[in-house]
Structure 1
Amino acid sequence: MHVQDPASHRLTWSEPPANVLVIRKVRDDSLAEPFKELCRFLVEEKQLTVYVERGVADDATLSNDPSFASVRGRLCVFREGHDDISDRVDLIVCLGGDGTLLYASSLFQASVPPVMAFNLGSLGFLTPFKFESYRTDVAKVFEGDAAVTLRSRLKVKVVKDMRLKRTGGRQQERSLESQSQEEHGEGDGNVNGESGAGAALQLQVLNEVVVDRGPWPYLSNVDLYLDGHLITSVLGDGVIVSTPTGSTAYAAAAGASMIHPNVPAILVTPVCPHSLSFRPIVVPAGVELVIALSPDARSTAWVSFDGRNRREIRRGDFVKITTSRYPLPSVCCHDVVHDWFQSLAQCLHWNARKRQAPLADFISDSSGTEN
């Protein structure tokens, strides 16, 4: 078996990037000046085509600034859910925190351009670059040969009005009745409705899929299938299915191990399970997980995707999860190992504790103590 060296993942350009998408954290006025400074640099100095969202371009802090008018007039605007820019962007630049990167991922439901994320948010686990050195860092990325972390995503499909029927240990899917598609969830234009009986939506998820009990007072009771075999029933507050990138998010708070994003795996973590022996498990990337309500479940369950598009799943519905063919290429500030461990230390304070005194000093202090 060949184990690929993570250091072999490098960003190289067949031709210099010409179109850059700039994603800015919304409802944060402190990012207005960094956003304008970056756009001036990309448009006026680098002569690039810059795409921004309509809501960002129309922000009062930008439209009321006469000095930014010339740059603003040259920006290409788009509307989420209406304009498809997936084949126009060479590079994504994020200004914000981890949520900004998750949002950028949701805009691309197939292949994702390389993402360069600047830490201008509250946590910044996934955003390794400092904005103070943006000119130097952006220039290096444009030159190519930068380290890249291929962050795997989950391909998630929620199917409605289907039942799971197991025959001889294998899973079969049978449609109960044809029903019109559900509406796109919560005004999010990134939900891709699928045609055909039972299909509700399909998404690419970067962090995690969460199935929980929602507002019900009863324990969540869902069955978990792995490649067609019933593995276990989850009785508790819910279950988290996450990527290695998501292992440091909600899954870590639920007691799971943290997995480096270059490890090909899917992490299954129960949320407050009503069992002392139900521990998080790691399964190989590429397996197919199916989550459905147990036949004896007292209530429905709810599912969300990277904290968005929350919706109810009823008896006969199920959630199908596997590793996506379209990872998110995240540009590293240093390299794939250094960036991840630096985030663990600085953002999560991993293994931070007061240092012990050297043994020699301890003996010396003890010998000089009076009785």
Structure 2
Amino acid sequence: MRDEDIQLALQMAANSISVEEEPLGAAIASPENSPKPLRKAVVFDLNERRKQFRRTRSLNAPSPFQQFGPCGRIMKNSAVVMQIQDPASQRLTWYKPPLTVLVIKKVSDASVLTPFVQLVLWLLQEKNMVVWVESAVLDDALLNEDVQFRAIRDKLVTFKDGRDDLTDRIDFIVCLGGDGTLLYASLLFQQSVPPVMAFHLGSLGFLTPFRFDNFQEQLTSVLEGHAALTLRSRLRCVMHRRSEKRHEVNHAVDANAPMFPLADTILVLNEVVIDRGPSPYLSNIDLFLDGKYITSVQGDGLIVSSPTGSTAYAVAAGASMIHPSVPAIMVTPICPHSLSFRPIVVPAGVELKISVSPESRNTSWVSFDGRNRQELFHGDSLRVTTSIYPVPSICAQDQISDWFASLADGLHWNVRKRQKCLDELSDLTASGSEDTFDEIENTKMYDV
């Protein structure tokens, strides 16, 4: 806190007047002795006053103009507010030519094999790049039957998920498949993520804007640095266990499920889901925002999603769709037992705390981008906030065009039959005139 703020606090404390009790009769007999207005308790401790105005993180928004009329202003704060760059100006640039590329393909899909071989051959032979693939790719029986792939098999560099650290080894990523390939890339890089170029070879393809028909031209343009970027924010989820032993014993029941190494902190691109699991009872989840109790969720569960995840599970639960450049966190209940519990949007800089209510009849289950499903016991808590490590997704056109194209192609947003025009307006519509409806009405009056 600055010196002028300390002086202001001291002046407020010096000018404050404590409330003195007076006889009721005197107050009634004379207007001058009327009771003094009640005042809120004044904080005399400057340390406590500092805590009231200091935040541990920014709300991820630009600083507003701080003058309101001739007198009003915002009290100055020593915390620095981060200035947000215009999303339209976010473009890819290389400090040096990229040399290594990680190619992620959709598993168990024969339709991706031919594009995968074509891409790897072109990167190796035409661009002389070092190509990384997952070690399981080399064990694909159908892929090993391809003559061209067998010729380049030994030139590929492999890694094992969960074991090898790819940080500072990969210059950019190419995904071949559906949205799951981009989620998998986010899981592999739990800190800084290289730029991701996703080709649509899957089912929905909401996060994969590129088509594989002319991949050579598109990749060449990206390698030359001619591409726009969408910084897709991720959620940082931190688990706090009350009893690690109880978690280990109970977690053995779900040992056959596909799991990645569990960690106290995990970054998710879409959403973190807390649900009631196999229990027949309603889930009862307490929700806190920046340490303040907000509400209890009684229903099937809760979805905490990023703007990118707002078009995934959250939109199926009735949430609004948020552009990925908007700094926000979406909180969506799953089948709430309340008619007034609507999805809400909170600032990206807040911290959400989710815990099983002490009155809950059962435990809850939590999953991160559909993986690492584990049980949330009484006394456990999950803290969620926006991560400082986004996923830089390369755009096919730009941030706005790609998103609305995905809404139209993937979700058929606002698709309906066009309404027919009125006969009396058919000439106006056909001619493309810019006349207003008032001018049309005036014309009718003069014709009469």
TM over 0.5: yes
State the secondary structure of the residue aligned to 1:84: coil
Pairwise CA distance, 1:215:
0.5
C-alpha contact 1:291 1:318 (8 A) present in aligned 2: yes
Distance 2:247 2:316 in 1: 35
Contact 1:290–1:321 under 8 Å retained in 2: yes
Q: In structure 1, the residue corresponding to 2:155 is in which secondary structure?
A: coil
Q: State the partner residue of 1:276.
A: 339
Indicate whether 1:221 and 2:302 are aligned: no
CA–CA distance in structure 2, aligned partners of residues 145 and 133 of structure 1: 16
Match of 1:315 among 333, 353, 378: 378
Offset of residue 179 of structure 1: 5.0
Partner of 1:169: none
Secondary structure of the residue aligned to 1:73 is: helix
1:97 aligns with 2:171: no
* Secondary structure of the structure 2 residue equivalent to 1:310: strand
CA-to-partner distance for each residue in 1:83-102, whole Å, 9 max, x for gaps?
Answer: 11122000000000011111
TM-score by length of 1: 0.88
Q: Within the alignment, does 1:124 sit opposite 2:205 as a pair? A: yes
Structure 1 Cα separation of the partners of residues 359 and 425 of structure 2? 61
CA gap of 1:181–1:233, structure 2 versus 1, over 3 A, is closer
Aligned to 2:58: none
Question: Secondary structure of 1:343's partner?
Answer: helix
Structure 2: 5+ residue stretches without partners: 1-62, 64-82, 428-448
Partner in structure 2 of residue 63 of structure 1: 144
1:158-178 CA distances to partner (integer Å, 9 max, x unpaired)?
A: 1110xxxxxxxxxxxxxxx67
How far 1:70 sits from its partner (Å)? 2.4
- Is 1-10 or 22-31 further displaced after alignment? 1-10
Once the 2 structures are TM-superposed, how far is the Cα of residue 104 of structure 1 from its aligned partner? 1.0
Q: Could you tell me which amino acid in structure 2 is paired with residue 75 of structure 1? A: L
Q: Residue 136 of structure 1 corresponds to which residue in structure 2?
A: 217
Q: Relative to total residues, which structure has the larger helix share, 1 or 2?
A: 2
- Counterpart amino acid of residue 208 in structure 2: T
Of 396, 413, 416, which aligns to 1:350?
413
Report whether the alignment pairs 1:149 with 2:149.
Answer: no
Tell me which structure has the larger Cα radius of gyration: 2
1:257 match:
320
The residue aligned with 1:6 is 87
Given the alignment, which residue of 393, 404, 407 partners 1:341?
Answer: 404
Do 1:227 and 1:289's aligned partners in 2 also have CA atoms closer than 8 Å?
A: yes
1:82 aligns with 2:163: yes
> Given that residues 132 and 158 in structure 2 are in contact (C-alpha distance below 8 angstroms), is that contact kept between their aligned partners in structure 1?
yes
Counterpart in the other structure of 1:53: 134
Superimposed CA distance per residue, residues 209-254 of structure 1 (whole angstroms, 9 cap, x where no aligned partner): 0000000000010000000000000000000000000000000000
Instruction: Supply the distance in 2 between the matched residues of 1:361 and 1:24 (Cα, whole angstroms).
Output: 56
> Which sits farther off after the overlay, 28-37 or 81-90?
81-90
What is the distance in 1 between the residues matched to 2:280 and 2:247? 29
SS of the residue 1:139 aligns to? helix
Superimposed CA distance per residue, residues 313-355 of structure 1 (whole angstroms, 9 cap, x where no aligned partner)? 1101011101011000000000000000000011101110000
| Equivalent residue letter for 1:158 | M
Deviation of 1:82 after TM superposition, in Å, equals 1.4
CA distance in 2, matches of 1:49, 1:67: 17
Aligned to 1:170: none
The alignment covers a number of residue pairs equal to 341
Structure 2 CA distance for aligned equivalents of residues 63 and 87 of structure 1: 30
Greater RCO between the two (CA within 8 Å, min separation 6)?
1
SS in 1 for 2:213: helix
**Taking every aligned residue pair, what percent have the same amino acid on both sides?**
60
C-alpha distance in structure 2 between counterparts of 1:81 and 1:363, whole Å:
64
Whether 1:292 and 2:373 are equivalent positions in the alignment is no
- What one-letter code is carried by the residue in structure 2 that aligns with 1:142? L
Distance in 2, matches of 1:304 and 1:280, equals 19
Give the corresponding residue for 1:239: 302
- Tell me the SS of whatever aligns to 2:279: coil
Per-residue CA deviation, residues 35-68 of structure 1 (Å, 9 max, x unaligned), is 0000000011110000000111221122222332
CA contact (8 A) 1:44 1:71 kept: no
Letter in 1 for 2:416: R
Q: Among 329, 332, 340, which residue is 2:392 paired with?
A: 329
* Distance change in 2, residues 1:84/1:363 (3 Å): closer
The question of whether the paired residues in 1 share the 8 Å contact of 2:247 and 2:375 is answered with no
Q: CA deviation at 1:188?
A: 3.5
Query: What is the aligned counterpart of 1:23 among 98, 104, 107?
Result: 104
**Unaligned 5+ runs, structure 1:** 162-176, 194-200, 365-371
Q: Contact between 1:101 and 1:126, CA under 8 Å: does it hold in 2?
A: yes
Cα deviations by residue, 1:164-200 (Å, 9 ceiling, x for unpaired): xxxxxxxxxxxxx675985898554453x3xxxxxxx
Task: Name the residue aligned to 2:194.
Answer: 113
C-alpha displacement of 1:73? 1.1
Any idea what SS the aligned residue of 2:119 has? helix
RMSD over aligned Cα, in angstroms? 1.8
- 1: CA distance, partners of 2:393 / 2:400: 13
